[in-house]
Structure 1
Amino acid sequence: MAFLPQLRIPATYMRGGTSKGVFFRLQDLPEAAQVPGPARDALLLRVIGSPDPYGKQTDGMGGATSSTSKCVIIAPASVPDHDVDYLYGQVSIDSAFVDWSGNCGNLSTAVGPFAIANGFVPAARIPRDGTVAVRVWQANIGKTIIVHVPVRDGQVQETGDFELDGVTFPAAEIVLEFIDPSDDEGDGGSMFPTGNLVDDLQVPGVGTLKATMITAGIPTVFVDAAAIGYDGTELQPAINEDKAALARLEAIRVAGALRMGLIRAPEEAATRQHTPKVAFVAPARDYVASSGRHVAAADIDLNVRAMSMGKLHHAMMGTASVAIATAAAVPGTLVNRAAGGGLREAVRFGHPSGTLRVGAAVASVDGQWVVTKAVMSRSARVLMDGAVRVPGDTL
């Protein structure tokens, strides 16, 4: 039997926020993978090392968590007044599936530095020292993200003293602006697809729960932690080692997806693992983060825990942070109530790895709430660049 040599594909391995993934320029992919379809999915699955029944992704670039099983494809902008198109693929760990239904807010941070380093931003716009506003078209959801990247001596500044809970080492601060982050997908045509700030959500096998369902940043179903037996200070082992808890939370996700009009039948949820997210919220309370650091209730507005690809996230997804900021700014949502109610332009919430401050600008227009912008700070860094290799029979 003849065995084909491995394919060598230029790539960059990057951390963005509390995630990391393999970044490609569209032009560098094999021709069959330069368009959406089975060939592209097969390539990214093999790059990451999925599907892996052992759940380790040992024979690929993935890190065996939802935060580290990701790929990004960058191309010249297809939309005027933007620098690049950014396409994100969430790669399943144990099944042959790539979810293209949403964005990764954390890896959005790395898109700006990647665009500058790879010549997508005109040299005339890059100062010797200062900041470059990279305008990114998020192609999965059709939204604009502005990534403010610090530059020193004409190059992307990666090192710095900005600390991000969930990331061990400091780096340079990158400010993200998510412009008009509400996603109109679903039946409602607004960022509250049911038309309500709080709904009674009937969840088979669980019961009826109060829920705030929102599509800002990423479709998210918020429930009160107390309603499902938690206090909002839980760390990963408390959830991820409890199969019954994971099943209940997945049932909530499926019920929410149906109610939001994202799927038409429960079985469709299996083809949409990345969205919607499920998060549970609670009033501020002291806890010890996964790093061992004490988080005081006085230093946060509320606690939030969120599920990603069927597991409790080790920190907080960037897109879910946008949903948190937006829901917190709208009086009457479960998130706003957990934060103490009232009008607020920003919140600091506790998550398993520590805290994060996020802001959102919202307004009531013709009886409907709209969000114009959400802002947060993250960091990014190139971990390795060169080429990734995959067996020649992958495509």
Structure 2
Amino acid sequence: MSFPAQIRIPATYMRGGTSKGVFFRLQDLPEAARVPGTARDQLLLRVIGSPDPYQKQIDGMGGATSSTSKTVILADPTQPDHDVDYLFGQVSIDKPFVDWSGNCGNLTAAVGAFAINGGFVSRDRIPDNGFCKVRIWQANIRKTIVAQVPITNGEVQETGDFELDGVTFPAAEVQVEFMDPADGDGAMFPTGNVVDELEVPGVGSLKATMINAGIPTIFVNAEDIGYTGTELQDDINSDPKALAMFETIRAHGAVRMGLIENIEEAANRQHTPKVAFVSSPADYISSSGKQIRAGEIDVLVRALSMGKLHHAMMGTAAVAIATASAVPGTLVNLAAGGGDRTDVTFGHPSGTLRVGAEARQEDGEWTATKAIMSRSARILMEGWVRVPEDTF
């Protein structure tokens, strides 16, 4: 009996922010996977090790969490004055699909370095020392992102002393600037309101801020659903009823935001929208044992990704948090004390994060001009990934 041989595909395994993913250049993919469709999805599923009913992804590169079940494809720019196109695929752990509906803000920090190392950035734009400005076209949401990548002796500098809660070791700081971060082409507040009453069967009527910035996100008050905002991962992820409640909130919010037509569609759109709960500052102990004082933060935020509470904070959700905090009257803004602000420091399960954002109101509608955060990135491994040749 004969079995298929394995093929090998050039790839790089990178950490970006508090996420990890497998990075590819489009031209390195097998021909059938160079275009969107079933072949590409099947390839990426096999690379990551999904679908896995055991939810461990032992036979692939995934790490059995939403933060580590990710893929990135970089290609020559399709837009003028950009260096690279960045396409992100969130791979489901236990189901056979790849969600292409949104961006990964954490991995964006690694895109700049990969673009430089991968030959997408013209050599004359890379300084001997200093920072290389990488102009990224985020193809999922069709937005511009600028990454300031540190350079030493003409090469990407990865090591440094920048510490990021949720990442064990320090590294070089990469500043990421999200230009016009409202997700997609629609309004930043798709319902036209900064706060809505969201009717959720089995839960009740909840005040909700539903925003398209960084990534579509539904914010609710922690106390309205029985929480304090200081919860850690196990407090939520070990409770099936809690996870079901959050998924129900997410599905009904997605319909209200116009992202899906009926709640049944939410099962095949796990990456977006996100759902998060907020509260005013309070003391708590982070997952690493670090004491977080109420006076060090403006607001508490906990967010779920792919059905589970995130161990830190998604980069795109951080953009949503910062943008919402800049708009008076949103639940995030109110939990942070209200008023006008251009930055926010929020507490998450792993620690704290400061993010800046600018928003303005024009003709009665709010728009975001940009959001800025610092992240770090590092190559973990490079070479080839292997998959059976009959994968796609």
* TM band (smaller chain): over 0.9
1:277 is aligned, of 259, 262, 274, to 274
Q: Which amino acid aligns with 1:266?
A: I
Q: Which residue in the other structure is 1:154 paired with? A: 154
Superposed displacement of residue 2, structure 1:
1.7
Q: TM-score, normalised by structure 1?
A: 0.99
Q: Which residue in the other structure is 1:300 paired with? A: 297
**1:111 maps to 2:108:** no
Percent of paired sites with the same residue: 72
Structure 1 counterpart SS, 2:133 = strand
Task: State how far apart, in whole Å, the 2-side matches of 1:370 and 1:155 are.
Answer: 37
Q: Which residue in the other structure is 2:166 paired with? A: 166
Work out whether residues 13 and 21 of structure 1, in 8 Å CA contact, stay in contact via their aligned partners in 2: yes
Q: Which residue in the other structure is 2:318 paired with? A: 321
Structure 2 counterpart SS, 1:145 = strand
**1:356 maps to 2:353:** yes
Alignment of 1:1-395 (within 5 A): 1-184=1-184, 189-395=186-392
Task: State how far apart, in whole Å, the 1-side matches of 2:48 and 2:187 are.
Answer: 35
Work out whether residues 102 and 218 of structure 1, in 8 Å CA contact, stay in contact via their aligned partners in 2: yes
Work out whether residues 22 and 72 of structure 1, in 8 Å CA contact, stay in contact via their aligned partners in 2: yes
Work out whether residues 103 and 140 of structure 1, in 8 Å CA contact, stay in contact via their aligned partners in 2: yes
Superposed displacement of residue 270, structure 1:
1.1
Q: Which amino acid aligns with 1:305?
A: R
**Residue segments in structure 1 that go unaligned for 5+ positions in a row:** none
Structure 2 counterpart SS, 1:343 = coil
Task: State how far apart, in whole Å, the 2-side matches of 1:212 and 1:374 are.
Answer: 18
Structure 2 counterpart SS, 1:197 = coil
Work out whether residues 284 and 291 of structure 2, in 8 Å CA contact, stay in contact via their aligned partners in 1: yes
Q: Which amino acid aligns with 1:73?
A: I
Superposed displacement of residue 90, structure 1:
0.2
Structure 2 counterpart SS, 1:219 = strand
CA displacement 1:127-151 (0-9 Å, x = unmatched): 1100011000000010000000000
Q: Which amino acid aligns with 1:57?
A: Q
Task: State how far apart, in whole Å, the 2-side matches of 1:334 and 1:118 are.
Answer: 42
Work out whether residues 106 and 315 of structure 2, in 8 Å CA contact, stay in contact via their aligned partners in 1: yes
Task: State how far apart, in whole Å, the 2-side matches of 1:125 and 1:89 are.
Answer: 28
Residues matched between the structures, number: 392
Superposed displacement of residue 183, structure 1:
2.0
Task: State how far apart, in whole Å, the 1-side matches of 2:45 and 2:183 are.
Answer: 27
Q: Which amino acid aligns with 1:228?
A: I
Work out whether residues 150 and 174 of structure 1, in 8 Å CA contact, stay in contact via their aligned partners in 2: yes
CA displacement 1:233-267 (0-9 Å, x = unmatched): 00000000000000000000001001000000111
After the TM superposition, which parts of structure 1 deviate over 4 Å for at least 4 consecutive aligned residues? Answer: none
Task: State how far apart, in whole Å, the 2-side matches of 1:229 and 1:36 are.
Answer: 42
Task: State how far apart, in whole Å, the 2-side matches of 1:281 and 1:97 are.
Answer: 30
Work out whether residues 184 and 191 of structure 1, in 8 Å CA contact, stay in contact via their aligned partners in 2: no
Work out whether residues 142 and 184 of structure 2, in 8 Å CA contact, stay in contact via their aligned partners in 1: no
Task: State how far apart, in whole Å, the 1-side matches of 2:246 and 2:264 are.
Answer: 16
Structure 2 counterpart SS, 1:215 = strand
Structure 1 counterpart SS, 2:251 = helix
CA displacement 1:338-383 (0-9 Å, x = unmatched): 0000100000000000000001011111111110000000000000
Work out whether residues 4 and 389 of structure 2, in 8 Å CA contact, stay in contact via their aligned partners in 1: yes
**Residue segments in structure 2 that go unaligned for 5+ positions in a row:** none
Structure 2 counterpart SS, 1:212 = strand
